């Protein structure tokens, strides 16, 4: 299968996007690996060795063949996903995910009533129609490939090149909004996606939602953008790699994401650049953000600056992902003089950030100190009680 994929990419379709069998295979890969780790956690580990999320996802019984095939090949997510955990899927199949929610009256007593309504796909279908219309209207007017055109690069001021790249990426995203919102609507229409209730008693149907459009477009950090884009894939990467890798989990997660997407060189350039961007973003947030938290006006200024920086950084990082081939991708970075790569390197060297393990160790030491102080206080109180 890998040989066929590499042959197709490098012999027949190099540098061109094509819809093929790899989409469903990517979804099935997520499900199989998730299931493998969940079975491993449930059958080989003790409760104390698992995180709270791993305890919830752990599978204590080997699935039957029918359950396995149903989970992997159900009609709702076979083409475009999104992926889901085995326990969530089985709760949907068995009907145990729907729990009535009793509301309280003005006196604080349960009135025995609860809001239980079927999910409406009208908003999602409207979002799909708008996204598809925007994409079909703008994708030909603002192609990303135009940003590496020699005439465009030589005759256009740099700040206009930045604006064009942002607009080109903005016109490209509705394609994914359409696919993932439609997939969410299909799952909800089948009854899958129930995620409990809001505080007002209204049901939530976002269990396997794959994106939050407004949070993406108005993201003020690299992490915020990634947390709201392809949410279920981000959760999969976190569960199977980030939480389990002991050596540099962030780099390992980005590398796994590149391998999962395919064999185009542009994917690897994008995710390698993403490592540098994430490290720089952490350094900026850790060292610069505290200076802008003094007043609301300073916070707004910081939000505007970080929004603009995030959108430019995302567009710069994702360009090779769209261009796919090595030549166009490196040509794009050369036209920008690798400026954001150099800026990230400068920021990381000038504004170091403590490692995750060191921060965790300091937190543990702080907890131990607090516990010691608490014990000392208790001892003093006990001595006073005895003296009394």
Active-site amino acid positions: 230, 261
In terms of Cα–Cα distance, which of 292, 295, 296, 318 is closest to 306? 292
DSSP state at residue 50: S
Q: How many other C-beta atoms are found inside a 10 Å radius of the C-beta of residue 108?
A: 6
Angstrom distance (rounded) from CA 74 to CA 28: 11
334: its two tokens: 């050369």
Residue 172 sits at the vertex; the CA angle it makes with 167 and 174, to the nearest 5 degrees, is: 110
113: its two tokens: 């009533």
Residue 175 sits at the vertex; the CA angle it makes with 171 and 178, to the nearest 5 degrees, is: 125
CB 297 within 8 A of CB 250: no
Q: What is the DSSP string of 2-23?
A: HHHHHHIIIIISTT-----THH
Query: Residue length, the chain?
Result: 388
CB 270 within 8 A of CB 259: no
Angstrom distance (rounded) from CA 96 to CA 238: 26
CB 250 within 8 A of CB 259: no
Sequence-distant (6+) residues with CB within 8 A of 331 are 148
For the four alpha carbons of 36, 207, 227 and 146, in that order, the dihedral sign comes to positive
Angstrom distance (rounded) from CA 15 to CA 316: 18
Residue 184 sits at the vertex; the CA angle it makes with 178 and 189, to the nearest 5 degrees, is: 120
Angstrom distance (rounded) from CA 376 to CA 112: 49
Buried b (16+ CB within 10 A) or exposed e, 7-35: ebbeeeeebeeeeeebeeebbbebbebbb
């Amino acid at each position: 299968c890998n040989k066929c994929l590499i042959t197709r990419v490098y012999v027949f379709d190099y540098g061109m996007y094509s819809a093929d069998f790899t989409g469903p295979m990517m979804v099935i890969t997520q499900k199989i690996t998730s299931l493998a780790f969940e079975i491993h956690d449930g059958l080989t580990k003790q409760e104390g060795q698992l995180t709270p999320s791993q305890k919830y996802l752990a599978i204590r019984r080997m699935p039957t063949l029918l359950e396995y095939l149903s989970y992997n090949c159900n009609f709702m997510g076979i083409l475009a996903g999104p992926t889901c955990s085995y326990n969530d899927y089985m709760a949907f199949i068995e009907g145990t995910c729907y729990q009535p929610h009793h509301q309280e009256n003005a006196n604080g007593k349960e009135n025995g009533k609860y809001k239980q309504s079927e999910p409406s796909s009208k908003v999602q279908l409207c979002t799909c129609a708008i996204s598809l219309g925007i994409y079909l209207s703008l994708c030909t007017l603002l192609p990303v490939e135009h940003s590496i055109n020699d005439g465009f690069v030589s005759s256009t001021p740099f700040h206009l090149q930045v604006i064009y790249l942002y607009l080109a990426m903005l016109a490209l995203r509705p394609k994914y909004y359409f696919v993932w919102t439609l997939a969410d609507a299909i799952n909800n229409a089948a009854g899958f996606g129930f995620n409990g209730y809001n505080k007002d008693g209204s049901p939530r149907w976002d269990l396997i939602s794959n994106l939050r459009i407004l949070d993406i477009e108005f993201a003020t950090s690299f992490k915020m953008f990634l947390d709201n884009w392809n949410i279920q894939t981000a959760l999969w990467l976190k569960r199977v790699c980030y939480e389990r890798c002991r050596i540099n989990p962030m780099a390992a997660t980005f590398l796994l994401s590149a391998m999962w997407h395919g064999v185009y060189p542009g994917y690897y350039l994008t995710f390698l650049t993403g490592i540098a961007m994430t490290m720089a973003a952490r350094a900026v947030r850790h060292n610069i953000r505290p200076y802008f938290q003094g007043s609301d006006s300073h916070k707004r200024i910081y939000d505007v600056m970080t929004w603009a920086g995030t959108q430019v950084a995302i567009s710069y990082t994702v360009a090779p992902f769209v261009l796919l081939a090595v030549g166009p991708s490196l040509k794009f970075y050369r036209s920008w003089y690798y400026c954001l790569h150099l800026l990230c390197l400068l920021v990381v060297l000038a504004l170091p950030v403590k490692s995750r393990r060191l921060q965790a160790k300091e937190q543990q030491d702080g907890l131990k100190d607090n516990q010691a102080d608490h014990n000392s206080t208790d001892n003093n109180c006990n001595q006073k009680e005895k003296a009394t």
